[in-house]
Amino acid sequence: MPEVPEVPTHCPYCALQCGTRLAPRDGGAAGVRPSPDFPVNQGGLCQKGWTAPTVLTTPDRLTTPLVRDAAGTLVPTGWDTALDLVAERLRALRDAYGPDAVGVFGGGGLTNEKAYLLGKFARVALGTSQIDYNGRFCMSSAATAGNAAFGVDRGLPFPVTDLGDADVILLAGANPADTMPPLMRHLGRAALVVIDPRRTATAERAALHLQPAPGTDLALALGLLHLAVVEGLVDTAYVAARTAGFDAARQRAMAWWPERVERVTGVPVAELREAVALLAGAGRAYVLTGRGAEQHSKGTDTAAAFVNLALALGLPGRPGSGYGCLTGQGNGQGGREHGQKADQLPGYRMITDPAAREHVAGVWGVPADSLPGPGRGAYELLDALGTPDGPKALLVFGSNPAVSAPRAGHVSERLAALDLLVVADFVPSETARTADVVLPVTQWAEEEGTMTNLEGRVLRRRRALPPPTGVRTDLEVLQGLAVRLGQPADRFPSAPRTVFEELRRASRGGRADYAGISYDRLDAGEALHWPCPAEEHPGTPRLFLDRFAHPDGRARFAAVEHRDAAESPGGRFPLYATTGRSPAHYQSGAQTRRVPELTAAAPEAYVEIHPDTARRAGLDEGALARISSARGSTLARVRLVGTLRTDTVFLPFHFPAEGRANLLTSDALDPRSGMPEFKVCAVRVEPCGTP
């Protein structure tokens, strides 16, 4: 029997986008192995990557459209029937209430082509401003801070491989040993300074672990800058030549002397001094932030404070050093660049910019004044569903907000209040189960497209397997709906290569310029990082070496001030709760909970709690606990962790039903980024039988 050729592609999960090779097998399955020559993962994969093909053949894979009947049951139907029904209902709602009666909710795992066409579909076929995506819950604070500081937002403005030569790396609120294990291959040489309330797997490998109270990272960052200033560690030549606004930022930091920082954060003064000395004394140093520092109602200011520290030490744009943020979702970078974000058009253009509107409208062949303005951010959009002035219908592509959104019980109520909920997915996620129409779509190994990883590298996703009979691509779904809404078919192409060619034109001249990137160049093996403005351009793996993206070429310090979290422990809710990820699962768990090996590793919701705290609550290892906040309660199995702060409990957010950690989290939002405060809320913990 001839050997089946392997197809080079990339893992469907996190933003590392590890290189993989798929070998088709009988029955629609595939074998996977890491690509030995892809520099990001260097021949490694995490347990999710090794088991990724399993979910393609999960027994409950959706293969036919479903429509809810009069009895309230989802029943199979044909594609034409389903799409006709959706289009008819959308037209009726728009006619009755206007175009903003329809909302669209996308995902950070969609390919660049899907994200681009989804934004175009919302603004042209529907005419709605009400579009956003779940990346608002992931990268928005770091993106807002990065744009303000540097004039452009790219998760890592340098290749991942540069980290392998670092002497010191500060990781603020990031746990890559659990969330991005192959990244640790690049961190082995450096002395790690880890800032995290938990003693994570990454913190275990650190030279120094700072363990602040949840919600106090901003005070900690201000204190580190204070020490850099008073101990004479600021790179004054760099600050004078390449930045603006230092004096205002310095003045804010001067109020955060070490003893004050220790009182607020709980981090000893000696550890603060050691952290600054390690960073300032390194020949090659990096400051990296993650969701732990960013998912707060002050997340933008917190990210900005760590940018300030990096700028004061002269790191960004210096060869061998820098600042970056560890993008989480598979296409979290590309997904926010091409138009599914409420305030942006393709190429990372702002929708309020008249020149941007003219350019993109010209590519789309529509008048610029026909494009709607900015809409609601992700949580505000979900919160408005079914209200008098909010959307009456919602189309969901690549997201599961019933589990992943903050204040999840309330969001589920809002989804139920809609006149029409349409979900395109490949498994019956918790959101899909509540939908009026479910549309089965292809998955990563069954489709062509591009993704953009955390270092701004554009990658080819290649089809290795045929999709199940009856399944369509998201692009085909969007074209089918657009045509039924009166659009010409060629305005909404269903071929990924055709969509990408249009994306190139739409992004030309924007901050995220893909004009010089093509399928042919990617297929020839070129490593292309945006911006890449012309076909003869080699791409830009390292930003800011000569100048930053502001008109004057200078980076901007931000004058930020610490403020308390929206909710502090006390009274009926004496503990901090913080949320995050389990090594075995990803995002809402809709995919990974269908993989037996991963489910065996983490079969149910759990809560990490210090033994002393558990004893006071009457809980033992393995007991079922009820964790309650002002918004609701969740059930989780107790795991005793002696390294955890006694005032803090930790819950992963991957589990459904009564195990949803986001039943606890609040709707407090960052006023600049719209980021919810996932990382801190006040709770109590008690045995499950307690009312």
Domain CATH for 592: 2.40.40.20
Condensed to tens digits (0 to 9), the pLDDT of residues 492-532 reads 999 999 999 999 999 999 999 999 999 999 999 999 999 99
pLDDT of residue 1: 39
Bridge pairing between strands 344-345 and 349-350: antiparallel
pLDDT of residue 4: 65
Pair of tokens at residue 560: 């930020």
Residues 138 and 588: beta-carbon distance below 8 Å: no
Q: In the beta sheet, which residues pair with residue 194? A: 171, 209
Helices 474-484 and 79-97: crossing angle in degrees, nearest 10, is 50
Interatomic CA distance for residues 585 and 591, integer angstroms? 8
Which amino acid belongs to residue 133? Y
Condensed to tens digits (0 to 9), the pLDDT of residues 186-242 reads 999 999 999 999 999 999 999 999 999 999 999 999 999 999 999 999 999 999 999
Does residue 46 form part of some domain? no
Residues 402 and 415: beta-carbon distance below 8 Å: yes
Q: Which of 310, 326, 342 is the last residue of a domain?
A: 326
CA distances from 393 to 90, 104, 561 (A): 7, 8, 40
pLDDT of residue 2: 46
Q: Name the nearest CA neighbour of 190 among 178, 179, 176, 200.
A: 176
Mean pLDDT (the chain) is 97
Which amino acid belongs to residue 93? L
Condensed to tens digits (0 to 9), the pLDDT of residues 183-197 reads 999 999 999 999 999
Q: Looking at the predicted structure, is the pLDDT value of residue 689 above 80?
A: no
Residues 351 and 344: beta-carbon distance below 8 Å: yes
Radius of gyration of the chain (CA): 24
Does residue 340 form part of some domain? no
**What backbone torsions phi and psi does residue 463 show, to the nearest 5 degrees?**
-75, 125
Q: Which of 326, 344, 379 is the last residue of a domain?
A: 326
Per-residue 3-state assignment (H helix, E strand, C coil) for 570-627: ECCECEEEEEECCCCCCCCCCCHHHCHHHHHHCCCCEEEECHHHHHHHCCCCCCEEEE
Interatomic CA distance for residues 685 and 574, integer angstroms? 9
State percent of the chain over pLDDT 90: 97
Residues 653 and 661: beta-carbon distance below 8 Å: yes
Does residue 396 form part of some domain? no
pLDDT of residue 62: 98
Count of Cβ atoms closer than 10 Å to residue 343 Cβ: 16
- Sheet order of strands, 168-172 included: 208-210, 191-195, 168-172, 285-289, 322-325
pLDDT of residue 3: 59
Does residue 58 form part of some domain? no
Pair of tokens at residue 297: 């109602």
Band of pLDDT at residue 26, cut at 50, 70 and 90: confident
Does residue 494 form part of some domain? no
What's the helix, strand, coil split of the chain in %, to 5?
35, 20, 45
The mean pLDDT of 604-625, rounded to a whole number, is 98
| Residue 482 φ/ψ region, left for φ over 0, alpha for ψ in the -120 to 50 degree band, beta for the rest | alpha
Residues 90 and 121: beta-carbon distance below 8 Å: no
Does residue 435 form part of some domain? no
Count up the domains in the chain and report the number: 2
User: Residue 588 belongs to what domain range?
Assistant: 575-687
State the first-to-last Cα distance of the chain, in angstroms, to the nearest integer: 64
Q: Which of 326, 353, 369 is the last residue of a domain?
A: 326
pLDDT of residue 5: 84
Condensed to tens digits (0 to 9), the pLDDT of residues 146-169 reads 999 999 999 999 999 999 999 999
- How big is the chain, counted in residues? 691
Pair of tokens at residue 207: 């030279």
Interatomic CA distance for residues 27 and 558, integer angstroms? 56
Interatomic CA distance for residues 549 and 328, integer angstroms? 24
Q: Looking at the predicted structure, is the pLDDT value of residue 245 above 60?
A: yes
pLDDT of residue 690: 60
**What backbone torsions phi and psi does residue 422 show, to the nearest 5 degrees?**
-120, 130
Q: Name the nearest CA neighbour of 502 among 485, 523, 519.
A: 519
Condensed to tens digits (0 to 9), the pLDDT of residues 269-283 reads 999 999 999 999 999
Residues 641 and 649: beta-carbon distance below 8 Å: no
**Quick one: CA torsion of 401, 405, 411, 416, rounded to 10 degrees?**
10
Does residue 50 form part of some domain? no
Which amino acid belongs to residue 326? L
**Any idea what the CATH number is for the domain that residue 322 is in?**
3.40.228.10
Does residue 20 form part of some domain? no
Q: Name the nearest CA neighbour of 180 among 581, 596, 460.
A: 581
Pair of tokens at residue 631: 């918004």
Q: In the beta sheet, which residues pair with residue 191? A: 168
Pair of tokens at residue 50: 């090794």
Interatomic CA distance for residues 625 and 635, integer angstroms? 6
Interatomic CA distance for residues 481 and 487, integer angstroms? 9
Which amino acid belongs to residue 627? I
Q: Name the nearest CA neighbour of 399 among 138, 668, 126.
A: 138
**Quick one: CA torsion of 304, 404, 429, 633, rounded to 10 degrees?**
170
The mean pLDDT of 619-639, rounded to a whole number, is 98
